[in-house]
Amino acid sequence: MIEDELEIYKIDEIYKNPKAFFKKLNIFSQDKYSKLNQKETLEKIFGNKDDIALVVGNGPSAIEFKMGSEIDKKFNTILRVNNYQIKSYEQYIGTRTDIWANCVGVKTTPKKLDKNTTVLTCIGQFNFSKYFAMSGIVPKLKNINEIKNIFHLHEIQSIFRYSYGFENNLTTGMTTLILLSLFYNKSIYCIGFDFYVGKNYYFSNTKPNLSRHNLIYEKKLFKYLKRKGIIKILNTTNIQELKNISTVSLQNIKTV
């Protein structure tokens, strides 16, 4: 068993006690949320623990099947990552974005979001991470005055490394898969996780900066979580098994 395979099993310690993991997180937001406790903050970001969530990665397999209309109807929470694109891909990946998770990268493109979209920055650095969040993301929101929920989660990589022994910086996609699967009571569905095999993104072939990541390790970790039933790859069969979310539930998604 090679070294990075040994590291995979360190994830079990986190899943044995998710509350302990979340207590280590340092999440800050606008002043209006400064008095929320940890439980309230997580619920503000992710919603109800019994909701059904989907993480849409940016790999080419995200547009393998035309599931867009079903995606919009069957998931309480739809999370998209970094420089995702919806225009021209609606029939494949749907139209809603309930959470936009990003790494505050220099290549993060400006976005106009629905006012109820939650912005979640996953920052690896401890030093000046708050500055990175405020200067790197906030100015890139074209309708910043309309966005209700903006949260900055920093020290995330430090927690993985120093509290749980992870040697690799996780990508934004893998980080959010773990976060959501620790919060929600049900398996997390996902599409578009290809680990940069072949074309880099479903919307472009721009070369990403992967110098801090170990994709061979992440692919093994992904398969491990899938084998345990923690995550599921969405396809045309299992999406039909999900019930449509109600109109009332849809109206209450991520509202303040």
| CATH code of residue 49 | 3.90.1480
Distance CA 233, CA 96 (A): 19
| Residue-level pLDDT at 125 | 61
User: Which of 4, 5, 14, 1 is CA-nearest to residue 160?
Assistant: 14
Picking from 52, 89, 42, the residue whose alpha carbon sits closest to that of residue 201 is 89
- The closest of 20, 1, 10, 2 to 167, measured between CA atoms, is 10
111 lies in a domain?
A: yes
- Distance between CA atoms of residues 71 and 77, nearest Å: 10
- Give the chain's domain count: 1
What is the C-alpha to C-alpha distance for residues 208 and 201, in angstroms, rounded to an integer? Answer: 9
pLDDT value at position 70?
97
- Whether residue 228 is contained in a domain is answered as yes
- The values of phi and psi at residue 78, to 5°, are -120, 120
Q: Which of 174, 180, 230 is nearest to 22 (CA)?
A: 180
Rounded to the nearest 10°, the torsion over CA 153, 157, 159, 165 is 160
Nearest to 7 by CA among 219, 176, 226, 197: 219
Show the domain range for 123: 3-251
Q: What is the pLDDT along the chain (256 residues), one digit of tens a residue?
A: 455 676 788 899 999 999 999 999 988 886 677 788 889 999 999 999 999 999 999 999 999 999 999 999 999 999 999 999 999 999 999 999 999 999 887 788 889 999 999 999 988 765 555 677 777 788 888 998 888 899 988 888 889 988 988 888 899 999 999 999 999 999 999 999 999 987 899 999 988 878 888 898 899 999 999 999 999 999 999 999 999 997 545 444 444 3
* 23 lies in some domain: yes
Rounded to whole angstroms, the Cα distance separating 50 from 9 reads 26
Residue 256 domain-assigned?
no
Which two three-digit tokens encode residue 176?
A: 């959010």
Strands in 188-191's sheet, in edge-to-edge order, are 26-29, 149-154, 118-123, 99-102, 77-81, 53-56, 188-191, 231-233
34 found inside a domain: yes
First CA to last CA across the chain, in angstroms? 48
Residue 31, judged by CB atoms within 10 A of its CB (0-12, 13-18, 19+), counts as: exposed
pTM above 0.85, yes or no: yes
| Residue 135 near residue 108 (C-beta atoms within 8 A) | no
Specify if 16 maps to a domain.
yes
**SS3 state of residue 81:** strand
Nearest one of 216, 222, 226 to 2, comparing CA atoms: 216
Residue 107 belongs to some domain of the structure: yes
